Structure 1
Amino acid sequence: MLKECMLSNNMASVEEIKEIDVEIRKVIADAAQFAMSDPEPPLDGLCNHIFANEPPIEVCGTNPWVKLKSVS
C-alpha cells in the first residue's frame, strides 16, 4: 500500500522503489545471516541484564540466583 501511495503521489519513482527494495532485502539477508552464524550466548549469561522490581523472576524455568548447568 505504501509503494502504491508513494507512486501515485509522485513521492518516488519506480526505479527508486526498486532500489529501496533491493537495499531492504540486503539488510534482511545480512541480519538473517548474522543471526544464523552468531553463537548462542553461554547459559551463565542467560539472566544478565534482566531487571525487575519484585524478584525473583523466572527465565526459562530458572531465576538469576540459581547457577545454570548445561544439559548437553
Structure 2
Amino acid sequence: MLDRNWGTSLEATKQSQILNPEAGKNLDPVVGLDGQVAEASMEKYRGITKVEETPKIDPARFLLGLGL
C-alpha cells in the first residue's frame, strides 16, 4: 500500500517547471541563510539527532554465554 502523499514531490516539481520554465536559466545565487548561520543550524541539528553508537559485542563471548 502506498502512502497517500506518494508522488506529491514529483507533482510539485512538475508544476513549478510549468509555472516558470525559464527558472533554470537564472544563475543568480539563491538568497537565504548566511553560510555561518546555516552551519551553526546544521551543527545544532546534528547534536540533537545524534544517535548513540551501540557497544560492539565480541561474538566469541556472546556464544560462550549461550553455552554454544
The structure with the larger Rg is: 2
Fold match by TM threshold 0.5 = no
More helix by share: 2
Of structures 1 and 2, the one with the larger relative CO (CA 8 A, separation 6+) is 1
When normalised by structure 1's length, the TM-score is: 0.32
TM normalised by structure 2 equals 0.33
